[in-house]
Structure 1
């Protein structure tokens, strides 16, 4: 996105903004699809649960990964067929199960006996994937710390489900967000292949689905492996699975992160201990929330040249932790100057708050229609319920 486009959007809509470029969403989906042929990509809504993203991915042929009733409501409002969705939260309220079933979702995830028992009353309508834990301490977020059963527990859980009349269709895992090494996927795929064979030998129902989760890395400034190189050994491992096994992945960050650009403006400045402090109308309680919750550090720049000085970028709230960067080189800024955050589509607006009654960023969607690559389609505000959005007045 060019400086001219950013200034035009800020002049039209004010700030703070989160600009979501659907052309970038489509690009990320396509390159991952090419890197993982034969794998159904279920977009995980949680990093960027926006109606325009859902719609453009559906047009691309994507499937969807849901975890809550709110996410069910969002895809339903966009006309997504329920058969293109799975519900993957390993720990669910009964209301979450009922709402998903009412919509038509039939595939769920569980990782322990108590969770399996929740499906006894729904055993004629629902089927399960068992989530297996593969710890990944090198990932930025090790999701197997919180969810998943040990591989050694899988056959016993399948047998317990069978005794309860509940069908287990397959296995799932998630090696962690921002995985840096495809080796953990290989380890997990190999283990699941062995479990599929062991289940068959034990006389258990055949397992015909493997969900390899998400975690595919994006570059926030540091160098990461290209997605083609990252997925090459994963493809080789998947090729060793029985041909009848349906393959699923749950990309979220990889698709959403590069599509978001945060636009904020300087609302005040002060010189403290020899450094300029610039106070923005967005911060850690807003779009930069991922620096706290997602361990991310976003590339930040300004639309201004000049001699660089040691500076501090702070958010607008009265909380002293609301500092985006306390050691950044910037030209001298003035009130109203724009500050740009890149790679901010994932876990930013989705986890933002209205703390101190500073309203979270407006979302502007660009290139919602593939044939029109430069027009701003619509200004959206996040509604209070379910992450859906409405045109602003």
Structure 2
């Protein structure tokens, strides 16, 4: 079995044999557009196949060297652990690896559409740039929030068109602005006059979103200390863009990563409507895009759940941005899509017993995946997988627990993953499994001390959840052979600019 760690990743159009497929685009003419131009086989052929056969057909050629994505019974702890154990044994693995369940990604996307039908998700690539995850979201019709040239290169290399990308970094490097312009990405954010001047020089046809400061002060990472215009600065910044003849087409905000207070969305949406009105009172063109940022989670660690946030957001949008205004609503979720689908497996390779405490060494740690303990206030929920010591009871069910400390592989004492955590008695060759490890983990890994934890591979699976199997298959199929009815504002924002002045290497779509 090959791992999905290759940077050369087929997007999910290849899953359906649609190598020449167009991604779902915003229609600048207001007409619906077909997503697929041609097909190696008719997608409806899978309708008559048994479920597992159909899923294999849909998911084949997921990435280089992988003939098909393994299908497992469900995304339950037991079935994920069974896949991990099988993968370890069949590949004689001793290095840490991830398991990414693509079906969970599809479920989360479906849940998003149900909860926030008016809000198109633009996945925040920085959260987890796994090609497998990006391809799945691209196939489902998501857009992408990129913050650097490298992220832009990654997303565009997978066939995603410029119309589905926002360069959502309020303070950009000039060379990155030039690159974005060269590939046709014109929608970007700003929160100061200096950025207007910079954009004017390097991307005169850019379309700006004025980013407002909007903090949930109880979020894991409030962002207002670094980004966002104050209310007292709004009029000046709108006028600065107007004087520079750079179009401001909307407003953005971000209440912070891992938000906990849904009222922060309400306050920010109300403030955004005020900016829309301010622009009109100044005689500026009507804005038509609202970006409500990120902060969304599935609530694994007590944060605000999507459903709770959606109630407040939908009510606020109805009050301040009713449909008759014709405003396109987008968001920048990262953690919501990345965290839950990914599980980490790390092997024990060292042990020491001191009085009542067992101490273990594993081959991932603070300078790898577990950087989330420091940078993201993560809560770990480890479970043992005793592949070496308990072959007949790998889950260690009903075995006595002992206070255990778990260290990462580097020689830094800071590299401590768990302290006095209850674990059964384990030995070298046993494994520890960590669920919900896809958000702000792998992306921040390093090669400190010579341990290249940034190179941990990912194995993809597709689980047949009761809620996700047939629904997920239907979602992937319909992504390619049904019409996409998206609002036209974002596409026209980008295509108008590219019509006015084409740049070398610009996306021709």
Q: Mark yes or no: TM-score above 0.5.
A: yes
Deviation of residue 4 (structure 1)? 1.3
Cα distance in 1 for residues equivalent to 2:207 and 2:303: 37
* 2:462 paired residue number: 367
Deviation of residue 359 (structure 1)? 2.5
* 1:385 paired residue number: none
* 2:239 paired residue number: 159
* 1:375 paired residue number: none
Cα distance in 2 for residues equivalent to 1:188 and 1:362: 39
What do residues 109-153 of structure 1 show as CA deviations (whole Å, max 9, x unaligned)? 111011111011245421111111023221111011111110221
CA contact (8 A) 2:219 2:256 kept: yes
Cα distance in 2 for residues equivalent to 1:97 and 1:126: 9
From 89, 101, 107, the counterpart of 1:11 = 89
TM-score (norm 2): 0.70
Residue 340 of structure 2 aligns to a residue whose secondary structure is helix
> Which aligned pairs between 1:75-90 and structure 2 lie closer than 5 A?
75-90=155-170
TM-score (norm 1): 0.91
CA contact (8 A) 1:178 1:218 kept: no
CA contact (8 A) 1:18 1:349 kept: no
Cα distance in 2 for residues equivalent to 1:267 and 1:219: 33
Tell whether 2:151 aligns with 1:71.
yes
From 188, 205, 209, the counterpart of 1:108 = 188
Cα distance in 2 for residues equivalent to 1:268 and 1:27: 38
* 2:115 paired residue number: 35
From 317, 338, 347, the counterpart of 1:265 = 347
Tell whether 2:383 aligns with 1:307.
no
Residue 120 of structure 2 aligns to a residue whose secondary structure is strand
CA contact (8 A) 2:215 2:254 kept: no
Cα distance in 1 for residues equivalent to 2:451 and 2:267: 45
* 1:238 paired residue number: 317
> Which aligned pairs between 1:207-226 and structure 2 lie closer than 5 A?
207-220=287-300, 222-226=301-305
Deviation of residue 226 (structure 1)? 4.0
Tell whether 2:375 aligns with 1:297.
no
Residue 55 of structure 1 aligns to a residue whose secondary structure is helix
Q: Which runs of 5+ in 1 are unaligned?
A: 373-393
Residue 330 of structure 2 aligns to a residue whose secondary structure is strand
* 2:440 paired residue number: 347
Cα distance in 2 for residues equivalent to 1:88 and 1:229: 25
CA contact (8 A) 2:205 2:246 kept: no
Cα distance in 1 for residues equivalent to 2:275 and 2:299: 34
* 2:415 paired residue number: 322
Cα distance in 1 for residues equivalent to 2:275 and 2:184: 29
Q: Which runs of 5+ in 2 are unaligned?
A: 1-74, 386-394, 464-468, 475-509
Deviation of residue 224 (structure 1)? 4.5
Cα distance in 2 for residues equivalent to 1:203 and 1:60: 39
From 273, 278, 285, the counterpart of 1:198 = 278
Deviation of residue 32 (structure 1)? 1.4
* 1:358 paired residue number: 451
CA contact (8 A) 1:136 1:144 kept: no
CA contact (8 A) 2:207 2:247 kept: yes
Residue 127 of structure 2 aligns to a residue whose secondary structure is coil
Cα distance in 1 for residues equivalent to 2:445 and 2:403: 28
Higher relative contact order (CA 8 A, sep 6+): 2
Cα distance in 2 for residues equivalent to 1:11 and 1:235: 48
Deviation of residue 210 (structure 1)? 0.8
Deviation of residue 289 (structure 1)? 1.3
CA contact (8 A) 1:214 1:250 kept: yes
Deviation of residue 10 (structure 1)? 2.2
Deviation of residue 255 (structure 1)? 0.4
Cα distance in 2 for residues equivalent to 1:6 and 1:295: 26
Deviation of residue 205 (structure 1)? 2.3
* 1:256 paired residue number: 338
